[in-house]
Every structure is written in structure tokens, then in C-alpha cells.
Structure 1
Amino acid sequence: MSRAPLPMRDGVAPSYLYLPDGDWLHMIGFLVERFPDVSEASWRDRMARGDVVDGDGNPLQPGSRFKRGMRIWYYRELEKPETPIPFREEILHMDEHLVVVDKPHFLPMIPTGRFLHETLLVRLKKTLGEADLVPIHRLDRETAGVVIFSRNPASRGTYQSMFQKRVVDKEYEALAPRLDGVAFPYIYRSRMVEGDKFFVMKEEPGEPNSATTIEVIAHHADYTHYRLFPHTGRQHQLRLHLSSLGVPILNDAFYPVALPCKQDDVSQPLQLLARAISFIDPISGDWREFRSRRSLRL
């Protein structure tokens, strides 16, 4: 794909879309209908600033003709100010291909919903000044720990394929109630599918499509410290598996019951940590292991 006609600005890369079929006469009518959470006044202001352009970088105006198939570029902006997330990421490793980061709890990976500048991707782009930075796997906003970004488009597919082929070893830690009646290490398997509520998973009868090995690090008076090894990468796999066993991870707001959104409350982090990622480097052939420096604390 050709380079974007707008530069990265304050860590935010421009977004784009191709105009669909439709009977809009002018750009402003399409934009207001396509993005109902963005006011017409906001779009007019962005256009006046030259922040909405076509594929050649020509500024678009409210009265510009709507043309099906045309690609337009714009910056994502929020209508309301973001609440700062008071936790910082730490860069663990950098080389010509990768940036390995220790993510704090509550920080989203990428811009989404009400988060833009307070996301790991945008923070790193600001810090490093690299518009091509892309995460090659994800962690939930609520989960802390090791995550890897690609900084080199030429090698990106090679590293992404490791996760697709499941040749990456992942180690997590969690605090949860004590699980009795099983011998450790214990392997839990289930069939996971999308739940009835947005962004929540559930289990159903059938051939398992997820598996997690569970070990005990230490038993404490009020909780157990677990080590978890996911053999598959289903969304919310560790959270759902422990909840299904009757020992939900402490401070989990989704499982076993999805609680009302806590908005900007950061007082009770989910006690789940991506402790380590290890793999054979597909380019150098070297064994690579990256470990989080964070700790789970109540």
C-alpha cells in the first residue's frame, strides 16, 4: 500500500476508508451518517484544518462530491478529553525488527472507543517516533505484561507467522481462589465460543478448541498464586477457564458475571500477568525469552 498522504501527528497515524456505495451528494453528509458519534461541526473543523484528504493528499471540503471507491484519509479524534491512565509502560528490548514492552494494567493496546492517546501503541509511537510500529499480538486492556511490536514492515509477516503457527511459548501468572480436587499440573480443556454479551466468551458442549495448563506457585491464606500456560490463544481464555473451574481471577469484571463498566476506576487491577514470551527467532535462529518485571499484588 502507498504511503499515507498525512503524517503521523502526536503519535496518531491517519486512518483511511474507501467510500462505499451510496447516494450521498457531498462528503459532509456521508461523514456525519458514517460516524454518528462525531458531530458535523467537528468534521467541518477538521476539514477547515486540512485534516481530511483524498488519496493524493488534496484537502476535502464539506461540499466535495461523494465518489464511490475513493479513498479518504483523516485523523481519529475524540469528542471528549481522555482521562490519563496513571501507569507507565517499560521497554524491555529493542532491535532492528522488534520492540518488546512490559504493559501496565488498564492501558489499551490500540486506539479504540474512548481511548486514543492513552493507548500503548500511541504512547510508543510518541516515544520512539516510529509511524510503522504495529503490535504482532494482543493483550486485554485489563492484563499486564509482555507484548511484542514489529518496527520493520519487511520482517513483520515472518514474526506474525510465529503466533499464527503457535510456535510461541507464553507464560502467565494469576491470583485466584484455591482450586481443590485436582492434581497439578492440571490441563483444562473446553470448547469456547462467543457469548451472548458483547466481548464476553462462553463454553458449550463439543470438541474442545482451547487448552490451558495450570500450575501452583504458592498457596496463601486468601488466594493461590498460579502459573498458566495457554496452548491455544482464544480471547479471554485464561479468564474463562479459571472462572469455569470455580476460581475466577481476582478482580475480574467479566467472569463469571459481566459487571457494570468501572470507567476510569483503576483501583482494582485484574490479577493476571503475561509473565514471559519465548520462541526461536525465525530470522536469527536464536532462542529469545522476554520476561515481565511486574508483580501481582492485592
Structure 2
Amino acid sequence: MIISSKKGQWFELIVPSEWQGLTSEQLFSKIWHAPKKHTHSLRMNKEVWLNGQPVIWTEPLNKDDRLRIKLFSDADFGMIPSYMDIHILYEDDHLLIVDKPAGMNTHPNVPEQMDTLANGVAFHLQAKGEFRQVKHIHRLDRDTSGVILFAKHPFVGSLLDKMLEERQIKRTYTALVQGKMPFKKGTINEPIGRDRHHPTKRRVSPSGQTAITHYEVIENQKDISLIQCQLDTGRTHQIRVHLSHIGHPIIGDSLYGNTSVKERLCLHATELNFVHPLTLETIQVTSPANW
């Protein structure tokens, strides 16, 4: 874990021993994998300082050096802040993790929309006096509940996007599915594409995008199974499509073949696990399913 703090608009950290000898240039490109465009902007605007002076990007860092980066400039939320009772599971200066209820969109589809989780996050930040562009790192379907990660500034957003792409953010889902699963564990590796006959539906299709879902059975009952899933990819409706494809649609999922009268989709994002890119703290957040 790195010793760090917020100093007004600046993020300050104490260089740890493992960065000894790296240049600031290498820190941004090799350790953080920061986008070149963002790094260039920080560089041109002299928004990275070392020990009280603008950093010399090609000089090596030393243990206990004081590195400052301007990360917390005010910005437009990108949507209309709207009060709602949101459940925050974790928050720091850089990111927050929220427990989304079922029946709510993750983010607005049109600028004037005000009833999404992102609108509630914007209001929460506004109430704290933090004017930040709200950015979800991943999303959940409207009818899926559970944990969602938001970035509070563009720099950490870009780092988290890269981590998600490289599967360094582990997401675990819990689902109730129709029927008794025949195997304790399994992997569904089937490409997913749009259904030409339905505007929002997806289907397994040879011409679709690669999609990989791992599952493990937690409990088998007579005609219902409780399972956990982890994703290597993040396609729209991925878990729902894959489980329906193998003959075990999620309870409450009428779109993909379940005829249950259950009022809601029994799919919940139960856990998020990753190493914080700026503090190196291990973040593990859980939210139990409540059907």
C-alpha cells in the first residue's frame, strides 16, 4: 500500500521502494499504463511535480520522494444530479463502488434522463462539493442488481478501464437458474451477437463477439440451482444468454426462456475484487443477493 493523500486539486504520494530507479516517464507508461494523450496533457501543463518542483520526466525516482499529480480539477458531471437513496459500499478520493438495485439503469441513455444510478452518484458527489465527471467502469443490465464501480476523475478512469480489459478486476455474480446443473463447474465459451428479430435481445452466434463465462454450482435443488459466475468478457446480457443457451435460463428471465412468475431477474453482482491502481490497496467489496 502506498502512502498518499489529497492536497486540494493535487494527489500526493510517497514513492515506495519498488519504484526506486524508475523515471516518471516509466511510472506512467510501464506501471500505470496511462494513456499517452493524458500523460502528454499532464506533461505539457506541468501538472506533475516532484519534491516541490516540476518533475524532470527522464530522471530516476528515489524512495520517499514526494510526487504530486493534479487530478482533482472541477468538471461537469456529464448528467443531471438527482437525489436518490444510493447504497455506497466503498469510496475514496478516486473511485466509489455502489450497490445497484434491480429495475434501475446504470447510466442515462439520453441527457435529460434523471432516474439512473449515475444520476444518484452525481448528486452524492455534488452534495460533498466534489464536481467530477461521473464515469462507470462497467455496467449492469437494468434488471440485474449488485456492485458497480465508478471513477471520480478521468485519470483513474483510464487506469481502471485498462485493468478491466486485462481482467485485473474480478467480478463475481450469483444467479438462480432453472433446472439441476449436470456439472459442478464449467466454462461456456460461445460468441454472442445481436438477435436480428428482437431490438434488445442477444443470442449465441458464430459471427458474434467472443464471450467466456465460468460457473460453479453452489447448491442444487430439485429444479433450481444456485450458481456463481465469473466473466472473462463483458458482453451485453452475457450470463443470461450463455445460461439460456445451455438450457438453464435464470429464474425470472422471461426474455431468455424462463417461465417463472418470479417478479425479478435472479442475477446479482455479489463481489468486486481488484488492486487499487494508485494506492496499491486490495479492494474487495461484497453484496449478498436478496431475492
Same-fold call, TM cutoff 0.5: yes
Shift in CA distance, 185/8, structure 1 to aligned 2, threshold 3 Å: closer
Partner in structure 2 of residue 204 of structure 1: 205
**TM-score normalised to structure 2 length:** 0.65
CA displacement 1:47-93 (0-9 Å, x = unmatched): xxxxxxxxxxxxxxxxxxxxxxxxxxxxxxxxxxxxx9xx9531011
- Rounded to whole Å, the distance in 2 between the matches of 1:213 and 1:254 is 22
Alpha-carbon contact 2:94-2:153 (below 8 Å) kept: yes
Residue from 77, 91, 94 that aligns with 1:97? 94
- In structure 1, the gaps of 5 or more residues are 13-83, 259-266
Alpha-carbon contact 1:184-1:216 (below 8 Å) kept: yes
- Rounded to whole Å, the distance in 2 between the matches of 1:205 and 1:6 is 42
**After superposition, where does 1:139-288 map in structure 2 within 5 Å?**
139-180=140-181, 182-196=182-196, 197-205=198-206, 209-256=210-257, 268-288=263-283
SS of alignment partner, residue 120 of structure 2 = helix
Shift in CA distance, 145/10, structure 1 to aligned 2, threshold 3 Å: same
Instruction: Please tell me the root mean square deviation across aligned C-alpha atoms, in Å.
Output: 3.2
Shift in CA distance, 271/7, structure 1 to aligned 2, threshold 3 Å: closer
Shift in CA distance, 138/9, structure 1 to aligned 2, threshold 3 Å: closer
Partner in structure 2 of residue 117 of structure 1: 114
**TM-score normalised to structure 1 length:** 0.63
Letter in 1 for 2:289: S
Shift of 1:128: 2.4
Alpha-carbon contact 1:143-1:272 (below 8 Å) kept: yes
Alpha-carbon contact 2:132-2:153 (below 8 Å) kept: no
Instruction: Name segments (4+ residues, structure 1) moved above 4 Å.
Output: 3-10
Alpha-carbon contact 1:244-1:256 (below 8 Å) kept: no
- In structure 2, the gaps of 5 or more residues are 1-37, 39-72
Shift in CA distance, 164/9, structure 1 to aligned 2, threshold 3 Å: closer
Shift in CA distance, 120/274, structure 1 to aligned 2, threshold 3 Å: same
Partner in structure 2 of residue 296 of structure 1: 290
SS of alignment partner, residue 254 of structure 1 = helix
Shift in CA distance, 4/257, structure 1 to aligned 2, threshold 3 Å: farther
CA displacement 1:95-142 (0-9 Å, x = unmatched): 010011011001111112698221101112112214422111111111
Shift of 1:204: 2.3
Shift of 1:254: 2.0
Partner in structure 2 of residue 73 of structure 1: none
Partner in structure 1 of residue 43 of structure 2: none
Shift of 1:153: 2.5
Shift of 1:9: 8.4
Aligned length: 213
Residue from 99, 106, 110 that aligns with 2:103? 106
Alpha-carbon contact 2:176-2:227 (below 8 Å) kept: yes
CA displacement 1:179-217 (0-9 Å, x = unmatched): 34x322111111211221222111124798211111111
